Structure 1
Amino acid sequence: MTFAAPLETKSIRFRARSFVAFTLTPEAPIGAWLEGLDHWIGNSPGYFSGRPVVLDLNALKPGSDEIAALVASLGARGIRVYAIELEGASLGPELPPLLTGAKEATSDGLLAQPGRNGKAGVAEEARKTEAESSERGKETGRPDEGKAEAGKVKAAKPVKTEQEAGAAEPVPAGTLMVKSPLRSGQSIFHPHGDVIVLGSVASGSEIIAAGSIHVYGTLRGRAIAGSEGNISARIFCRRNEAELLAIDGWYTTAEDMEGASRGKPVQAFLEDGVLRVVPLN
């Protein structure tokens, strides 16, 4: 997973790896990157809590003192650096170890992990340029519609799947059907199509799908559709109490959705590069 936060847009970008850890990739200037990180943490408090993080410094190539300062800055934000990626480097014992042999993550379907809040990982973002990110981050100001934050979070591509018995049932045509309610702390990832949840989705849980997401109950957690770059994906729910909605990485939070779309049946979709959340008629 790669994190990048340009100065103009506070763009957030992640890429999954073959272990359960985030990879953050700082970009110069570091101050602007940290500002973008603070913006993301402000919208998703506790997102990094208890999660190991790998720091990919191959693009930045800082010196040892700069690395130590960056690790300390991340630690002050509650982000624990598990390892560092930096080709040809030799780090002292006071710094996290160098990571070798990491591979891109893949998944066959479902990830259900009770007792964890937030994501198991985040999906690859390599096809969009910084200019596109800047352009799509602008708000349009239309009333009664949820507005996307001027940022982007690409959603999960976790490591190998773990499936709880009875929690979910895959069905043909790339659709994953979840017959039981999603409990707080559970995270479901489906990289091959739509996800259908027949019950409710509790606060602190998360659904991530390459296609659309359908919740036939109250959506209180996070729903992230189009995680593999599907801009046509949509999110539907019978009652919108979501903490976060995202499509193709463009997201809106609970605070942004206060008003016409809260507590009602809604659909979320991308229109002209802006995330819309509108009541279903």
Structure 2
Amino acid sequence: MQTKLTLNDGNVIPQFGLGLYQLPEGTETQNIVKTALELGYRHLDTAHAYQNETSVGQAIQDSEISNSEIWITSKLWPSDYEQAPEAIERMLKRLKVEQIDLLLLHQQVGNYRKAWIALENAVKEGKVKSIGISNFDGERLVDLFNFADIKPSVIQVETHPYHQQVELREFLKPYGTKIESWYPLGHGDKNLLEEKIFKKMAKKYNKTVAQIILRWHIQEGIIVFPRSTQKEHLAENINIFDFELSCSEIKEIRKLNKKQPYFTMTYEEQEKNFLSWKLED
């Protein structure tokens, strides 16, 4: 049975879902979402920057599953921050919903304070259920938490066995903020996927290495949504709820932490690249 987590605002979020990064607008994405929903996926992670929200919304509308059973996470891009209320209205229309389950600020550049106020207002107006951030770190992370009246329910960051975000998780504990992982399988790093302990566990539980790593995220209390376009991989990824890693195995995986991110863009590079990127609605 799939697991769920209770956020610091009381809302309950499916812990496992489908990442929709780099999936194109159109029939292909609609079919992938349709297949995922048929396989039991109930959490979809999209963003304005992914440019596929319309397809996601259409696939949900075409399914026979109630909107109330599907959790949608989306994100505002920095070019949305100055006019965030209007951007949220457009997002609701693209997704064909009356309320977004979780809305994140996608990057830590731009006027994120102004955008956060808009997110808080959207919660009060019932347009958004939960709010959070993505890719914030350092002084901007601390500033946002100090500034916010409604503390982030979620932060989405790169997280995997080589980069376990131990310090961040300690920082978040007093706030009850959950981590959502992107690059949960280490960006496909061969070294990670061929670690001996993963192969040993995979053999023991009759699972793949990817399933072992995804299961580790689940047991660490991390929200995870691997990306896949193939039905067999979609089915494989979600098949992680019929076994449990032991405490000693979890500890062994924790020893792999190298604080090694694959995304290494500096804040200055983020400002230069992300602030100049204007998105179409």
TM-score (norm 2): 0.32
Ranked by relative contact order (alpha carbons within 8 Å, sequence separation 6 or more), the top structure is: 2
More helix as a share of residues: 2
TM-score (norm 1): 0.32
More strand as a share of residues: 1
